[in-house]
Chain A
Amino acid sequence: MERFVYADNAATTPVSESVRRAMLPFFEDGWGNPSSLHRKGREAKAAIDNARSRVAAAIGAEAREVYFTSCGSEADNWAIKGAAYAARRKNPEKNHIITTVIEHPAVLETCRALEKDGFTVTYLPVNSDGLVSVDVLKDAITPATVIAAIMFANNEIGTIQPIKALADTAHEKGILFFTDAVQAVGAIDINVKDLGVDMLSMSGHKMHAPKGIGALYIRRGVVIDRLINGGGQERGQRAGTENVAYAVALAQAIEDAVASLDDMKRVQAMRDRLIDGLSAIPRSYVNGSRESRLPGNVNIAFEFIEGESLLLLLDMAGIAASTGSACSSASLEPSHVLLSIGLPVEKAHGSLRLTVSHDNTDEDIDYILEQVPKAVARLREMSPLTEF
């Protein structure tokens, strides 16, 4: 038997064959430093320029607007801190940042760090579907506001925000708009010019590139401070010898992802089968919007049971999933996202996240639909709370 179903693609994805093939030559022959003037350097420079163009093309940007980073978190830190410090230096009154309560820690903790340095931060609430309201954003903007940082799609509940409308609102009020699109890039069609965002972050390992590469799109004309000082790499904006192999990997990954966006209809059908099948379990609650949702995201809470136990049982059955339960986190706090959409703590403990991708099959979905109800029933049998 030894069946293994990987349904935790929002956590990370395996490096694809195509990406591995594209990047390997840069560990063999293409190891030069793009800043070197000799042949090895020129080869590496050509490779990274090409990779930058391909990443840019995949999101409708110009090559000069794409900057490689070491990960999505770095891109998030850089966008927000870079914009905040650049604005405040020019005008000390500019000390306000807007974000939402459901952001990834890479954004939330960046904002908290800025609070410690004198900035004020407004954390916008979301509705029970996890959506941010355009009016709420509009009302939060003050003359002191520098930037609004609102995630494209949520990593836990998959809710996709109305980014174009939010960005338009920010611009009407004269502030910058940044979106953490780590979960969205590669999963849905994105064109930065159509959306009108000023900055957008992405991460390679969410779309079959290795961990350790990300990128930040910075619209031409937007000037932010550096996060990493040093040499003149990345047009002088991000120091550090370029990771050519991984930049090439990111380019291949994003190109592959965009080329297979059509297959997302199949992924979405698998997602819907999972949501329909699992929400048939009594006392279960689907978290996040059903309509405005990432094609691969399922998040559902089962009353009377605890998520870590559920994950352990599923792991024993060969299914890799994730939970927003407190007991699975080092902090022993349940998911801030689930609490923000109004889920009571008791229910947040029993949440299960399954994130499927192109690599999954209908047989995987059959297997999950067979195993999850069994595991839920087993834990409910053990639970002293099941008096219904």
Chain B
Amino acid sequence: MYSEKVMEHFSNPHNMGDIENADGVGTVGNAKCGDIMKISLKIENNIITDAKFKTFGCGAAIATSSMATDLIIGKTIDEALTLTNSAVVEALEGLPPAKVHCSVLAEEAVKAAISDYYKKNGIDKEIPDASCHCHGDSCGCGE
């Protein structure tokens, strides 16, 4: 049911772990719904120099976390804020419909981590809305 790319990222996830003294940390999801994603960022001169994830969830949740962190490392904050869930799905060569919410969670986790960075640094900037709303609760999030 999963693409080869998903299985590749699930079996050998990239950027798994925590960043000590991270510049921004975002945790989204809910244990009741079966997935929680935490993304930590290291940011230098407006550039994401490192990103790590920790995820409780299904194969797709782990693979989207791995892919989302891959996609934002080396990017500027503004570039990372344009990451959409569909870009994550595309990079993973597709997700089963029931698992698309995992990619939304990944997008939200990145935005939450950047929002945390803004808050810590007193930066008064708007975080764009997620391209699809899960409201931090993947239970209610469809496609």
Contact = CB atoms under 8 A, between A and B. Distances in A.
Q: Is B one of A's binding partners?
A: yes
B32 A346 contact: yes
A76 to B, nearest CB: 27
B10 interface: yes
Contact of A306 (B54, B61, B139): B61
A347 to B, nearest CB: 9
Interface in A295-334: 304-306, 308-309, 312-313, 316, 325-328, 330, 332, 334
A316 B55 contact: no
A383 interface: yes
B7 to A, nearest CB: 8
B13 to A, nearest CB: 7
Interface string A137-175: 000000000000000000000000000000000000000
Given A309-B62, A312-B10, A332-B98, A385 B34 contact: no
Contacts of A327: 34-35, 57-58, 60-61, 99
A383 B56 contact: yes
A382 interface: yes
A383 B98 contact: no
A316 B10 CA distance: 11
Contacts of B99: 327
B56 A308 contact: no
Interface string A348-385: 01000000000000000000000000000000011111
Contacts of B16: 381-382
Contacts of A382: 13, 16, 54-56, 62
B32 A305 contact: no
Given A306-B56, A312-B10, A316-B11, A384 B34 contact: no
B54 to A, nearest CB: 4
Contacts of B35: 306, 327
For chain B, give the interface size range.
20 to 34
Given A309-B62, A383-B55, A384-B27, 17 more contacts: A305-B56, A309-B10, A309-B58, A312-B7, A312-B10, A313-B11, A325-B34, A327-B60, A327-B99, A345-B34, A349-B31, A349-B34, A382-B16, A382-B54, A382-B56, A383-B56, A385-B56
A388 to B, nearest CB: 13
A157 B16 CA distance: 34
A308 B2 CA distance: 12
A306 B38 CA distance: 15
Contacts of B98: 330, 332
Contact of B54 (A309, A313, A384): A384
A383 B38 CA distance: 9
Interface string A169-211: 0000000000000000000000000000000000000000000
A313 B57 CA distance: 13
